Structure 1
Amino acid sequence: MNSLRQFLMQEIDGSRASAPLTAYCFMTGFIDAVCFSAIFVWCAFQTGNSVQLALALARLFNGTHDLSFHLADQQALCSVLCFIFGAFIGRLGDKIGCKTRLWVTFGTFIQTIFTMAAAIAIWKSGQPSLSDTRADPAWSNALSFVCIGFMSASMGLQGIMGKRLNTQFTTTVVLTTTWCELMTEPQLFHFRRLVKARDHKVMAILFLFIGGFTGRAILDKIGSAGTLGVGTGIRFLITLSWLFVPTKKTPKN
């Protein structure tokens, strides 16, 4: 029992956690593909949702005095608040040890539960999976809001866990910063050798793209609930993968 506790409380080597962090990036694209295809709201990229809420507030002063709280704005607000809630859960890692094997495994398992809850909610909602126009979102009932909330919370938790590991994958959620850092990388064009700072950023961008493509392809075949079910399975595999990340070596005196 003591050996198990010691194993779980060991700090992982973030520089050797490329596989689960790459999978995190994949899940960002995967989850956002489901959400955006239905309601044109991002569960992971909260910049757009925040600006959307600012525009909703600005409508109050544009002369027409539009006091209605549009459905798209409600969904954006739900996503932002639940993302923040998920990120706040990530602060538990500061108590346990944000780089311990216990926390990265348990935190990813919580993401798995959130994704599963989202799948069940949208399945029970009976809502369609795809929308053709922003004016007519596919999701509108209460259970669909529950789905949005759980998806956004899973991404918020993933983001803060990625940030705490302090690797080249950064948060694994927002790629605007990653693109900027990649373009300013001094060794960007050193193609004849591996450059970790550059290559990991490229992997993050590439796998987010692959995740989005895969999510939409599966969505077209089996719908939102089934796609989120697949996402739940992938998240569980990521949970297990943290158990195999090497321990951080203690510097010798």
Structure 2
Amino acid sequence: MAASNGTVTYGTMASTEQLSPSGDARGSEDQLPRHVAGAPRPTLPRAVAVRLAGEVDTKACDWISVFACFLTGWTSAISFTACFVWPGFQTGNVAQLAIAIARTFDPPQTRTFKFMKGDQQALTALVSFWLGTSLGRIGARVGPKRRSWLVATALIQIAFAVVAAVLAHYSGEGAYAIGRDHPSWSTPKGMAALGFLSASLGLQGIVGKRIASPMNTTVVLTTTWVEIFNDPSLFYIGYAPSRDKRIAGVLAVLVGAFTARALLGVAGSGGAIGVLCGFRLILAAWWAAIPGPKA
């Protein structure tokens, strides 16, 4: 500081940030966790770990839920074509088991005292679904919206599908049931293939539920149909997100089931499930790419 003619002036030691009109803004920006020049940049594994540790924005999960519905249709077509059992529709499987028990009270000509093969397959699908969806308890501890958990669920579903494809291929059974009384996948290997497919949809269901998907669990569309036909925008001409995204989910199930059924005649059960593995891999990458919640 120097004095001249009674006037006080500041020397070169004064801070340029204090004299700059944008000094406050620049100072606040410096406090942000940005890369410092000359400091080592984060390694790729570290960057991936940080990315996976974050949570996804549930509002950005609508279209990946539609894709999950496509996978539901694909999976359901394979199992229903083989043995007339839905791997994800457990309401029907529970009712089928109840009917099987009630047959013990039928007239003698229709009475049975055991589960028929179709009933055994329905029980296999139901129990496997329970086990698969129970894995959601792990997600409750890790964080149901964390990317690491969501990517892990897709990878687990890939593992289930790979095992199902191998079992279906080496079971020696065809992709098509001869009839209700002669379903395919009636051997232990075939029923195990059905079990792994059901477990994969059980895990998918809890993921959809935890991220508050417009299609609810993305596995059973009964609730989705109810919401579509009670949507205030049902007859609105134009884009209505609450209606159109649910309709997209229904159409995705339709397209997935149609495509898988058409592929069965060319690739068989093992090949169709193998393609499902590829789609599950896309699902895993998609989960990793979904942005985080906005501040």
Map 1:135-150 onto structure 2 (within 5 A).
135-150=181-196
Aligned partner of 2:252 in structure 1 is: 207
1:4 aligned to which of 42, 48, 64: 48
Alpha-carbon distance in 1 for matches of 2:242, 2:147: 24
Shift in Å, 1:4: 3.4
- Are 1:173 and 2:219 an aligned pair? yes
Alpha-carbon distance in 2 for matches of 1:57, 1:16: 45
2:58 aligned to which of 8, 14, 30: 14
Q: Is residue 60–residue 291 contact of structure 2 (8 Å, CA) maintained in 1?
A: yes
| Structure 1 residue ranges without an equivalent (≥5) | none
CA offsets, 1:12-41, max 9 Å, x none?
A: 012212332111100110011000001000
Secondary structure class of the residue paired with 2:101: helix
Shift in Å, 1:74: 0.3
Runs of 4+ in 1 over 4 A off after TM superposition: none
2:262 aligned to which of 193, 213, 217: 217
- The AA in structure 1 aligned to 2:84 is F
Q: Larger Rg: 1 or 2?
A: 2
Map 1:91-102 onto structure 2 (within 5 A).
91-102=137-148
Structure 1 stretch displaced more, 20-29 or 145-154: 20-29
- Are 1:24 and 2:68 an aligned pair? yes
Map 1:7-86 onto structure 2 (within 5 A).
7-64=51-108, 65-86=111-132
Aligned partner of 2:24 in structure 1 is: none
CA offsets, 1:162-184, max 9 Å, x none?
A: 01001212110011110011000
- The AA in structure 1 aligned to 2:97 is L
User: Which structure has the higher relative contact order (CA within 8 Å, separation 6+)?
Assistant: 1
| Structure 2 residue ranges without an equivalent (≥5) | 1-44
- Are 1:157 and 2:211 an aligned pair? no
Shift in Å, 1:2: 5.1
Shift in Å, 1:3: 4.2
Aligned partner of 2:39 in structure 1 is: none
Alpha-carbon distance in 2 for matches of 1:85, 1:103: 17
1:127 aligned to which of 159, 166, 173: 173
2:272 aligned to which of 215, 218, 227: 227
Q: Is residue 185–residue 194 contact of structure 2 (8 Å, CA) maintained in 1?
A: no
- The AA in structure 1 aligned to 2:106 is N
* Higher share in helix: 1
Aligned-residue RMSD, C-alpha: 1.2
How many residues get paired? 249
Shift in Å, 1:222: 1.1
1:108 aligned to which of 131, 134, 154: 154
Aligned partner of 2:283 in structure 1 is: 238
Q: Is residue 70–residue 253 contact of structure 2 (8 Å, CA) maintained in 1?
A: yes
Shift in Å, 1:132: 3.6
- Are 1:195 and 2:240 an aligned pair? yes
The percent identity for this pair of structures is: 39
Q: Is residue 215–residue 221 contact of structure 2 (8 Å, CA) maintained in 1?
A: no
CA offsets, 1:66-105, max 9 Å, x none?
A: 2122000000000000001000012211011001111111
Secondary structure class of the residue paired with 2:215: coil
- The AA in structure 2 aligned to 1:60 is T
CA offsets, 1:93-128, max 9 Å, x none?
A: 101100111111111111111011100111111111
Alpha-carbon distance in 2 for matches of 1:242, 1:8: 9
Shift in Å, 1:134: 0.7
Normalising by the residue count of structure 1, what TM-score does the alignment of the two structures yield?
0.95
Aligned partner of 2:136 in structure 1 is: 90
Normalising by the residue count of structure 2, what TM-score does the alignment of the two structures yield?
0.82
Secondary structure class of the residue paired with 1:202: helix
Alpha-carbon distance in 2 for matches of 1:184, 1:82: 33
